[in-house]
Structure 1
């Protein structure tokens, strides 16, 4: 009996050592893949500890996914060495509540839910630029705003032009935005209207830091004449807008580790708030997968995050994550 106990103890130690070796190997691969460097040995130890904890979160969640208990998977990505709260502080830059000033969305009179297409994907129509990367700058609001305007400009003029988020970061402070410290899509639309346009991405490339305004009138790629607000909290109206108007700017609650580490499937997070919104993204479609309705959402964290830079977010689920709480689009 004593010998059996000793053998079991040895086996347990061997498994633990093996698991630690695997984690170390994964950690080295993570640092190489995402070009991670740390200022000190102590910081690296801290980041490895967080990486280990996030790896455990992923493993436990995906075990539930394998049993059909949840509708989405998690995966390690470039944010795997960050705690959820510091991740949200760095990358989620939607600040403030909706301001008045936009027109109200009025769906076409002949449009009802039964007449809308079952699936919409504006990428397939050519109205969506490739996924971008905001870097370590809370400029999500700028990417959401440019994405919506890029779509509207394309649908009106037939030309898809990548627009400058850096232009918005550097130049729209007087309209209420605060560069890498956060802002609102509606304030971006106001700036673009008053400024008679926004420069192209090519002429005013993204830098992920606050800088001096370098807008040039001759480099304008698109403009707007105002913006439209969709009824707060109405996923019905949001669906009508996505189907009939194009890509729509929305604000969501993206403060959870499940969002940080999302990989694929229909994201369904019961803890998500419909009021505490901290991240600006772009709804570019909707559909149904595995019997679950979803919104097709473009993020601005590069293609290495999520499903090639996109996430499917639960639709018609009590406005989960506030997907319809602050939806808007520019008029062109």
Structure 2
């Protein structure tokens, strides 16, 4: 049972501080209100551990994680009640990260590393006129998922490889627009093979470094050929016969230039 709690609704009665009774989410699972969370939190914790197949060898560690989990649940409930009052535009739900502190999450998943001289370092392969749409009216909105050029949501696991997923996401969209074929590209190849271009695998990296690697390597494999394992592998397993896409160049959108950001999103994907 996956406890992704993002489809329930709280009823607000009398005042914003008085909430309805617990709301069923199926399979006998209930998200408590702030009023009765202490009564139900143990059952919620048991269902969470079962749903994500989580176990702890040490009692002290489980107590520590339980406290973090309980605080997150309270924050989620409070936020979603405020959402129903019109104070927020989005709802929150429990997921597998509910036992991590914010600092732990940043350490494990935020692997973006930007060197100060990166803009100068890679100017040799950037195309300064990849997009120029000043003569074209920008759309009010666009969702490339509806156009079939966005791959399904991926999970980087406990590896600081967000930079690799950002790289493949950009390449996948551009490749789909130019070829008509949506192909999931290999983040693991970038993790394993681009260290000589300045990346550090699960310890962080930069999209510019990855683009330069794909450009000079003359390609990147698809996901099925070079699947993601979420850790640093000992050797690069790139196979040229499995190349699914290439990178001719890239452009960094100027910081603070929302028009350039709109153009890139609207016309590049």
TM-score by length of 1: 0.66
Deviation at 1:129, TM superposition (A): 1.0
Q: Deviations over 1:191-213 (max 9, x none)?
A: 00010101111111100010111
* Higher RCO (CA < 8 A, seq sep 6+): 1
| 1:30 and 2:55 correspond | no
CA-based RMSD of the aligned residues comes to: 1.9
Residue of structure 2 in register with 1:124 after alignment? 146
Residue of structure 2 in register with 1:190 after alignment? 212
Contact 1:196 1:223 in 2 (8 A): yes
User: Which of 252, 255, 258 is matched with 1:232 structurally?
Assistant: 255
Residue of structure 1 in register with 2:135 after alignment? 110
Deviation at 1:183, TM superposition (A): 0.5
Give the secondary structure class of the aligned counterpart of 1:70.
coil
Runs of 4 or more, structure 1, over 4 Å off, are 15-18
Give the secondary structure class of the aligned counterpart of 1:227.
coil
Give the secondary structure class of the aligned counterpart of 1:72.
coil
Instruction: In structure 2, list runs of 5 or more residues that go unmatched.
Output: 1-32
User: Which of 162, 172, 178 is matched with 2:200 structurally?
Assistant: 178
Contact 1:104 1:231 in 2 (8 A): no
Aligned residues: 229
Residue of structure 2 in register with 1:304 after alignment? none
Q: Deviations over 1:12-31 (max 9, x none)?
A: xxx99964330011111111
Residue of structure 1 in register with 2:161 after alignment? 139
Residue of structure 2 in register with 1:75 after alignment? 93
| Greater per-residue strand proportion | 1
Q: Deviations over 1:92-118 (max 9, x none)?
A: 11112461223446522412xxx2212
1:238-317 correspondence runs (5 A): 238-246=261-269
| 1:210 and 2:232 correspond | yes
Deviation at 1:40, TM superposition (A): 1.2
Q: CA 1:223–1:41 in 2, change beyond 3 Å: closer, same or farther?
A: same
Residue of structure 1 in register with 2:20 after alignment? none
| 1:94 and 2:116 correspond | no
Q: CA 1:157–1:16 in 2, change beyond 3 Å: closer, same or farther?
A: closer
TM-score by length of 2: 0.80
User: Which of 45, 52, 66 is matched with 2:70 structurally?
Assistant: 52
| 1:220 and 2:250 correspond | no
